[in-house]
Structure 1
Amino acid sequence: MAAPAAPAAPAAAGHRPVLLSALDEVPEDTAPAVAKETLRLSLAALPYVRDHCVYLQPEGWPEDSDRFPVVPMTTMLELAAEAALRHAPPGLAVIGYDQVRALRWLSVEPALDVPVTVRGEGPGRTRVVLGEYADVVVLTGERYEPLPGPDPTPLHDPRPAPVSAEALYRDRWMFHGPRFAGVHEVLAVGSDGIRGVLRALPDPGALLDAAGQLFGHWMQLRLPVDRLVFPATVDRIRFSGPPPAPRELVAATARIREVRDVTVRGDLELRRADGGVWARIDGWTYRRFGADERVWPMKFTPEVCGIGEPQPAGWCLARRRWTDPASQELVMRRYLGAAERAVYERLAPRARAPWLLGRIAAKDALRQLLWNDGAGPVFPAEVAVGNDPAGRPLAEGDLAAGIRLTIAHKDRIAVALAHRDQPVGIDVEPVTADPDALIRIALTPEELALAEGLAACEGTGLPAALTALWCAKEAAAKAAGTGLGGRPRAWRADGDPGSGRLRVLSPDGQPYPIRTTLLADAPLDHVVAWTERPAEQSPRPFHLTETSHGS
């Protein structure tokens, strides 16, 4: 038996568990430990987790971690139960769980060691903590206790299921592979719940995970926004007998008890063929993650759509579409490959969101260029974005290597431009709040007159026109590969205010045609300037819409 553990320090406010970042505080753990052990987890140790990968990647993709193979919360319950039974008297069965808390996603690629703490909390109650990933009280007993009969209350306003059980997996409503594809039939969807039939599959946690899929599908169908959900906590689970045999059919009803901005809570009832209740799950809470009309379709077809917004002039705009770190992490994993994630993790926390936005804009600009050229489906991980020795963005990978790329980000937006062979530059800046300083630092008298002409013709105001000239110089300097070098006045802007077209001359006289636009619908007005390129074929209508998997 291990020595008692020292009391755990409270978690710092900046290090809240990812899945609980919007829920109640995790209670301080101060009871003495009974036993400690270590679990070595990997895809080799848990091969069935290959069918619980959150992100689709191309067939044969070599990097398993890019698929994000995570242990289901219900499988973590099985791991906790095994740990509890190893330290319990022989002959006991697991009859339920209390206070289930999934704290973080438990990815098993790369392999990792998970510390396990097992602590008795009274007769038949054992608290098991799986490292920083899960915390649960396992209930054991010599016999199962009978459960009350089925709840006869009908669902309110039940309708036929719009998505069949087969389509749940075929059309990627669920990311689960065959070993976790346990929803056998979706019978009815009401305003307050959902009914279906589950098939018991043999892998640990698969049946309860299927129950959670049915519950989560109600959220996919009925929530108007933020329908991307993952299980976070359960108050109470009770079993009336041993698990159903493999392939046995189990009826399931999920009843919605509360819908909040960041969570959905409900109760579930699982019944065997004789109508008796086998399991009752009370207070199952799912965490909602940011998923608007551009994020949501990427769950289904990430190879043909993106968060970025392709612009008619060929550049791409990406807006920050999340409000919390957990949603940001999901977007990050959707877009970045393993090497890119390593760079992201090394950044200071406050620097990660703008850097990620820049990568999203760049990858979607590259993918749009490839789609326009007839490349077909392209996943974000297939177009890596690195940096050259001078720090400039560099398109990498078999599909994108050699494509010219430029990125800029500011505040909550990022922009990017890609071209097969032409030097490119792009910049974005908020409309200046200090026009006099910008005139003094960056513009000549002739450029001030040009800005006044632009403001008069475009009706955007002098501050926006001044900012446009500054951005134009930045974009040209990026295309030249030199930057402004601290000499913005050495880069001369001219043009025709009536046409809106600008030209920037580098210090050595190289001309760069520039276009600009005002983003008036951003949180702050921003100006974007980019190097103009020859007219190309309009983007193909390749992007799915919200209605493809809508409400």
Structure 2
Amino acid sequence: MQAVAPFQRKFVRTLTLKDRPELLDHCFYPQKKGWKNISDRFPVMPMTASIDMLVHLAEDLFTDKKAIAVEDISASKWLAVEEPKTIEIDVSYDGKSRLKINIIGHFVGTVLLADGYPAAPKPKLEPLNNPRASSIPARMVYDGGWLFHGPAYQGISSFKAVGDNGIHGVIKASRVPGALLDNVGQIAGIWIMQAMPIDKYAMPIRIKRISFFGKQPERGEVDCNVRCVRARARDVMFNMEIASEGQIWATIDGWEKWRFECDDKLWNFLISPGRALISEQKDSFTYFEHQYLSDAICDDLSKRYLRQAEREVYLSLGKKRQSWI
């Protein structure tokens, strides 16, 4: 291939549930069967599906190259697709091996290209400290409400062990775009739920680097080792190794999840809709003390429990939103 000079290009893509029906299995807020207003379910693109989009765009632009890594990944706003969503994509190529790809307003990352995949490394994550059985059985992860994902993203098949510093799980490989890496993030989330006494509600926001050592496995079982390398009040960072057929397929350095303010009462309320209360009953009255809720949690509750017309009222209130909800 002849050298390609640096360039900048713009692309426009439209995301629809017709073209991406699997996104109906990535809805944050469950509703009863047959619910007609899709916006009440809030279907969104997983961060990992955006990563998959970047990889395929880069390889489509350079058909004789392989994406061997994605660096400096940052998600700023969910890509909600309850209605057709047109996105603008900026691509900047450095003339060597890097394409910085920006899904404007939502997501950015840099894809590294090479002639072929590098040799797979040996495992290097430290052993689990104090290994033990997971307190959350794999069979209950989805059916028990610990995770919101529908069938297309229900890839966790078992947990081998959980430790003070991480978790070891097994994933059923899938052809759904982004599902395998989403399952890796799910396993990290399950560790947070067991390891953190409060603020267990966490979402992905950044990844320093994902390195690929071969084509993504599409069938069979995939081994996933996750280690916590930093835990702070508002965020947790992980390193991961994902292996298929005894060989590492990908490593992930610096996967960050943001922890939302969430005490036990709110946490039980979030994972057990219809069964747990956030309000308190006292002297024949029902009380809801909202002062401890952050703006982010109030926004989440508005999407979770308000209908579309009610959400429009909520959004119009500005700084009065928290007291109104």
Shifted more, 203-212 versus 35-44: the winner is 35-44
Of 66, 70, 87 in structure 2, the residue corresponding to residue 114 of structure 1 is 87
Map 1:32-51 onto structure 2 (within 5 A). 34-51=8-25
Distance 1:334 1:77 in 2: 26
Partner of 1:310: 281
Partner of 1:508: none
Of 150, 161, 165 in structure 1, the residue corresponding to residue 134 of structure 2 is 161
Secondary structure in structure 2 of the residue aligned to 1:84:
helix
Partner of 1:544: none
Map 1:316-331 onto structure 2 (within 5 A). 316-323=287-294, 325-331=295-301
- Is contact 1:250–1:272 with CA below 8 Å preserved after alignment? yes
Distance 2:88 2:175 in 1: 26
Distance 1:337 1:34 in 2: 42
Q: Compare the two structures and name the one with the higher strand fraction.
A: 2
Distance 1:308 1:42 in 2: 38
Find out whether 1:127 has 2:97 as its counterpart.
no
- Is contact 2:7–2:95 with CA below 8 Å preserved after alignment? no
Structure 1 residue 33: deviation in Å?
6.9
Partner of 2:321: 352
Q: Which amino acid aligns with 1:354?
A: S
Per-residue CA shift, 1:397-417, capped at 9, x if unaligned? Answer: xxxxxxxxxxxxxxxxxxxxx
Partner of 1:75: 49
Partner of 2:69: 96
Find out whether 1:139 has 2:112 as its counterpart.
yes
Structure 1 residue 72: deviation in Å?
0.5
| RCO comparison, higher one (Cα < 8 Å, 6+) | 2
Find out whether 1:265 has 2:237 as its counterpart.
yes
Of 172, 181, 184 in structure 2, the residue corresponding to residue 208 of structure 1 is 181
Structure 1 residue 37: deviation in Å?
1.6
Partner of 2:3: none
Partner of 1:436: none
Find out whether 1:343 has 2:316 as its counterpart.
no
Partner of 2:40: 66
Per-residue CA shift, 1:336-382, capped at 9, x if unaligned? Answer: 1111111112222x1111112xxxxxxxxxxxxxxxxxxxxxxxxxx
- Is contact 2:279–2:286 with CA below 8 Å preserved after alignment? no
Per-residue CA shift, 1:389-439, capped at 9, x if unaligned? Answer: xxxxxxxxxxxxxxxxxxxxxxxxxxxxxxxxxxxxxxxxxxxxxxxxxxx
Distance 1:57 1:146 in 2: 46
- Is contact 1:103–1:133 with CA below 8 Å preserved after alignment? yes
Q: Which amino acid aligns with 1:327?
A: I
1:217–1:353: structure 2 CA closer, same or farther, 3 Å change rule? same
Structure 1 residue 84: deviation in Å?
2.4
Distance 1:151 1:33 in 2: 37
Of 272, 277, 280 in structure 2, the residue corresponding to residue 301 of structure 1 is 272
Distance 2:107 2:193 in 1: 25
Structure 1 residue 220: deviation in Å?
0.6
Bigger radius of gyration among the two: 1
Structure 1 residue 263: deviation in Å?
0.2
Distance 1:280 1:317 in 2: 45
- Is contact 1:57–1:67 with CA below 8 Å preserved after alignment? yes
Distance 1:260 1:249 in 2: 32
Distance 2:59 2:50 in 1: 14
Secondary structure in structure 2 of the residue aligned to 1:109:
coil
Per-residue CA shift, 1:313-356, capped at 9, x if unaligned? Answer: 23333323323x333321221221111111112222x1111112
Secondary structure in structure 1 of the residue aligned to 2:251:
strand
Partner of 2:150: 177
Of 198, 202, 218 in structure 2, the residue corresponding to residue 245 of structure 1 is 218
What is the percent sequence identity of the aligned residues? Answer: 33
Secondary structure in structure 1 of the residue aligned to 2:51:
helix
Partner of 2:58: 84
Q: TM-score, normalised by structure 2?
A: 0.94
1:301–1:204: structure 2 CA closer, same or farther, 3 Å change rule? same
Map 1:482-521 onto structure 2 (within 5 A). none
Q: Give the aligned CA root-mean-square deviation in angstroms.
A: 1.6
Per-residue CA shift, 1:518-547, capped at 9, x if unaligned? Answer: xxxxxxxxxxxxxxxxxxxxxxxxxxxxxx
Distance 1:122 1:81 in 2: 17
Of 291, 303, 314 in structure 1, the residue corresponding to residue 262 of structure 2 is 291
Distance 2:288 2:281 in 1: 6
Partner of 1:533: none
Distance 1:55 1:168 in 2: 16
Mind listing any 5+ residue stretches in structure 1 that lack a counterpart? 1-31, 357-551
Distance 2:281 2:84 in 1: 38
Q: TM-score, normalised by structure 1?
A: 0.56
Structure 1 residue 125: deviation in Å?
0.9
